[in-house]
């Protein structure tokens, strides 16, 4: 029978190597999850910015770029926002036999955010401890063939608090 005294240091080596592997997997899980979350937040922000720029419908590029940047800064307050570009295109398209004029806006944006964990060096050749996430969104505004009148009504009378049977939902 072999003696276990000669194998005393083997367990500490296995534990040390296991800790490196566990630490690497933890960093991958945390950073990967955060990158996915930031990508989704950037997607939401660029979609909101695209809708805002499309509704504003300004032909001045500087105004559109600034509006898009403000929306991104509001949605992503603690993130470094890099390049923001609004691309405006005009054209016509036939839909249901009608020739419709449209204005299309596309917002391209990229952001950088810091790594959360840095105990394992990555293969980042630039030496930065940042990740870059890029997204774009597109919206089109169609001009209708005829004028359209919209009316919005606000009811402040309190009648919406009544049940269908006429009794008030509010009890004083």
The tens digit of pLDDT for each residue in 20-38 reads 889 888 888 888 888 888 8
Report the pLDDT value the prediction gives residue 8, as an integer from 0 to 100: 66
Largest CA distance in the chain: 96
Per-chain mean pLDDT for the chain = 79
Please check whether residue 136 lies inside any domain of the structure.
yes
pLDDT at 148 over 80: no
Distance between CA atoms of 136 and 72, rounded to whole angstroms? 12
Structurally, how many domains does the chain consist of?
Answer: 1
pLDDT at 120 over 50: no
Please check whether residue 2 lies inside any domain of the structure.
no
Of the pLDDT bands very low, low, confident and very high (cuts 50, 70, 90), residue 161 is: confident
Higher pLDDT, 62 or 4: 62
Please check whether residue 15 lies inside any domain of the structure.
yes
Confidence (pTM): 0.61
Please check whether residue 34 lies inside any domain of the structure.
yes
Please check whether residue 17 lies inside any domain of the structure.
yes
Report the pLDDT value the prediction gives residue 59, as an integer from 0 to 100: 84
Query: CB neighbours (10 Å) of residue 114?
Result: 13
Please check whether residue 75 lies inside any domain of the structure.
yes
Please check whether residue 140 lies inside any domain of the structure.
yes
Higher pLDDT, 23 or 160: 23
81-116 confidence digits (pLDDT tens): 888 999 999 999 887 887 888 889 999 998 887 766
31 to each of 10, 17, 111, how far by Cα in Å? 32, 21, 15
125 to each of 30, 117, 122, 128, how far by Cα in Å? 21, 17, 8, 8
Report the pLDDT value the prediction gives residue 1, as an integer from 0 to 100: 54
The stretch 74-83 carries a mean pLDDT of 85
Of the pLDDT bands very low, low, confident and very high (cuts 50, 70, 90), residue 125 is: very low
Report the pLDDT value the prediction gives residue 116, as an integer from 0 to 100: 64
pLDDT at 2 over 70: no
Please check whether residue 96 lies inside any domain of the structure.
yes
Report the pLDDT value the prediction gives residue 24, as an integer from 0 to 100: 85
Residue 139, domain extent = 10-160
């Amino acid at each position: 029978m072999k003696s276990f005294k000669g194998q005393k240091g083997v367990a500490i080596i296995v534990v040390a190597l296991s800790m490196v592997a566990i630490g690497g997997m933890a960093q991958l899980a945390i950073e990967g999850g955060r990158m996915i979350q930031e990508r989704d937040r950037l997607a939401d922000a660029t979609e909101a910015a695209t809708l805002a720029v499309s509704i504003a419908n300004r032909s001045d590029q500087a105004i559109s770029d600034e509006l898009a940047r403000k929306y991104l800064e509001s949605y992503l307050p603690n993130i470094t926002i890099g390049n923001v570009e609004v691309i405006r295109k005009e054209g016509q398209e036939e839909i249901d036999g009608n020739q419709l004029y449209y204005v299309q806006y596309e917002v391209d944006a990229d952001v950088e955010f810091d790594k959360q964990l840095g105990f394992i060096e990555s293969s980042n050749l630039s030496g930065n401890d940042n990740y870059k996430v890029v997204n774009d969104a597109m919206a089109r505004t169609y001009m209708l063939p005829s004028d359209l009148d919209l009316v919005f009504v606000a009811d402040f009378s309190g009648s919406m608090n009544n049940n269908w049977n006429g009794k008030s939902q509010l009890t004083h």
